[in-house]
Structure 1
Amino acid sequence: MDNLEQFLSRAPLLWEGMWLTIQLTALSGILAFVIAIILGIAGGSSKRLIRYPARAVVEFFRGTSLLVQLFWLYYVLPLFGPQLDAFTVGVAALSLNYGAYAAEAVRASLTSVPRGQWEATTALSMSWAHKMRRIIFPQAWALMLPSLTNLWVHLLKASSIVYVVGLSEFTFQLQQLRRGTDWFFAFAVVGLIGYFLFALLITWGMHLLEVRAKFRLGRGPSLREVLSLEPTLRPGAPDKVGVGGADAGVDKRGGDAATVAVGGDRKGEQ
């Protein structure tokens, strides 16, 4: 009962800490993705003047500790410029660190797009921006989403480190709760449930994005089918498919992904 009373009394502060963690995770995740797109595309460029600097930036931020980057931005950078507030430093450190990791997922996904797709866009005289937006990136997007999901969940857990620069995020509030209760209740109960539920929301949201991305390429069911409480039989699909049948796992609508991508936009896509 004492633990419950302490929890209820500190609930507003715990929510403030969780809200700060949500802000850090969401903003850092978005900025990390933007950085990853820039570095990932540049890192896969055939031009050395573009590829080498991008690779150097990626290896630097992947090869140094997030804690060191956080301290450097908060304590060392002000010696050469203006002092940044703790929240900005936390977002910048998380974005740069995880943006470097995500850049490798972006680069690998782009290089995984079949060579025939790149050649087809060249044959159609598409501009670089047009072929990336309409043909190459949609296919790479579906490939990179699982890796980006894992990195975003890791970013959520890494956001707990920003308390060292004075931010009262969720982990800091858990430490305050531990003083009035015990470590097991604060971290193994409240902390575990809090972080798990947030990570679960991120995973579910990214999974829905993955479903939508694959559907647009003709590789899986639509969001409506996935979210439907009743099973939906897709047109042309057999009523029953044997376990070892040749048709198992085949999407009757999609056909070859390369044909879907280059052949034009899907009608009625979500």
Structure 2
Amino acid sequence: MQELMPLLMKGTLVTIEIAFYSILLAIVMAGVAAVLRTAPWRPVRWLGNAYVEVFRGTSLLVQLFWFFFVLPLPPFNLELTPFTVAIVGLGLHYGAYGSEILRGALRSVPGGQYEAAIALNMPAATRMRRIVLPQAMINALPPATNLMIELLKGTSLVSLITLSDLTFRARQLDESTFKTAEIFALTLVIYFVLAQVISLVMRHFERRFSSHIARRTPRTAP
């Protein structure tokens, strides 16, 4: 254990860093795609739909290989570091799924809430910020938690583009020590613990949003 854990911890730190920045990018892309897909202009909606369908309908591994091996070639001539490729690939891929979660959550808000906000002459931005988004987030957070955990597990693919993440370190140690059972048992435990951390953090946000809505309801109810 004392021999294996230090190297596995180094890989774990890389995995955490990749997952953190990828989740941030996925959240941004989910919001952007949701806005594009609900825009009143058809070309803008087409752009949002094209992004979602391409990244949702193709393999994550192929996307990572495309960013890593194809972009440096002509006519693109864009060479990205493996770390950047991992964040961009994971963020764009899971952001496409996240946009579907966000779009469904926005549609779950009762139409009467929109009508009441319009009757009160609320600007669109204020209506979205104070009425729609707080209620939509309650419905979006549970599936978003599952998606973040899926993203965490998806980071194991970045070992195939030369990043020394947790999976890469586990395979490296297995080849040098032949302690297969011990190494991959520890790897499973580490992934499980990281997933539980994500789950606990998201449950905290769920409680915060729920309590916020509960406090506001008596004041906003007719």
TM above 0.5, yes or no, is yes
CA contact (8 A) 1:41 1:106 kept: no
Partner Cα distance (1:261, 1:92) in 2: 43
Residue identity in the other structure for 1:260: T
Give SS of 2:79's match. Answer: coil
Aligned to 1:263: 220
Deviations 1:82-133 (A, max 9, x none): 3110000000000000000010000000011000111112112222211111
Which residue, out of 178, 183, 190, partners 1:181? 178
- In the other structure, the counterpart of 1:15 is 9
Work out whether residues 27 and 95 of structure 2, in 8 Å CA contact, stay in contact via their aligned partners in 1.
yes
Q: Residue 27 of structure 2 aligns with which residue? A: 33
The answer as to 2:143 corresponding to 1:147 is: yes
Partner of 2:111: 115
Structure 1 stretches of 4+ with a deviation exceeding 4 A read: none
Partner of 2:66: 72
Larger mean Cα displacement after TM superposition, 94-103 or 168-177:
168-177
Q: Deviations over 1:164-196 (max 9, x none)?
A: 111000001111222313322211x20111000
Q: Greater RCO between the two (CA within 8 Å, min separation 6)?
A: 2
> How far 1:29 sits from its partner (Å)?
0.5
After superposition, the Cα gap between the structure-2 partners of 1:47 and 1:263, relative to the gap in structure 1 and judged at 3 Å, is: farther
Q: Can you list the C-alpha shifts for 1:18-69, whole angstroms capped at 9, x where unaligned?
A: 0000001111001101110111232233442332221111011000100111
Cα contact 1:142–1:213 (8 A) shared by 2: yes
Aligned to 2:200: 204
After superposition, the C-alpha distances for 1:222-254 in whole angstroms (9 at most, x for unaligned) are xxxxxxxxxxxxxxxxxxxxxxxxxxxxxxxx6
| Separation in structure 2 between the aligned mates of residue 134 and residue 149 of structure 1, nearest angstrom | 23
Q: Distance in 2 between matches of 1:15 and 1:184?
A: 17
- CA distance in structure 1 between the aligned counterparts of 2:66 and 2:211, rounded to whole angstroms: 44
Select 2:86's aligned residue among 74, 85, 90: 90
Where 2:152 maps in the other structure, the secondary structure is helix
Deviation, 1:12, is: 2.3
Aligned twin of 1:52? 46
Q: 1:56 to 1:87 in 2, by over 3 A?
A: same
Q: What letter corresponds to residue 156 of structure 2 in structure 1? A: S
Q: TM-score, normalised by structure 1?
A: 0.77
| Matches of 1:19 and 1:110, distance apart in 2 | 35
Structure 2: any 5+ residue segments left out of the alignment?
A: none
Bigger-Rg structure (1/2): 1
* Aligned residue-pair number: 218
How many angstroms apart in 1 are the aligned matches of 2:6 and 2:182?
17
Quote the Cα distance in structure 1 between the aligned partners of 2:120 and 2:204: 32
Percent identity of equivalent pairs: 41
Bigger fraction of residues in helix: 2
User: Quick check: 1:149–1:203 contact (8 Å CA) kept in 2?
Assistant: yes
Task: Give me the TM-score of the superposition, normalised by structure 2.
Answer: 0.93
Which amino acid counterpart does residue 149 of structure 2 have in structure 1? V
Please give the root-mean-square deviation of Cα atoms over the aligned residues, in Å: 1.7
Q: Supply the distance in 2 between the matched residues of 1:125 and 1:42 (Cα, whole angstroms).
A: 24
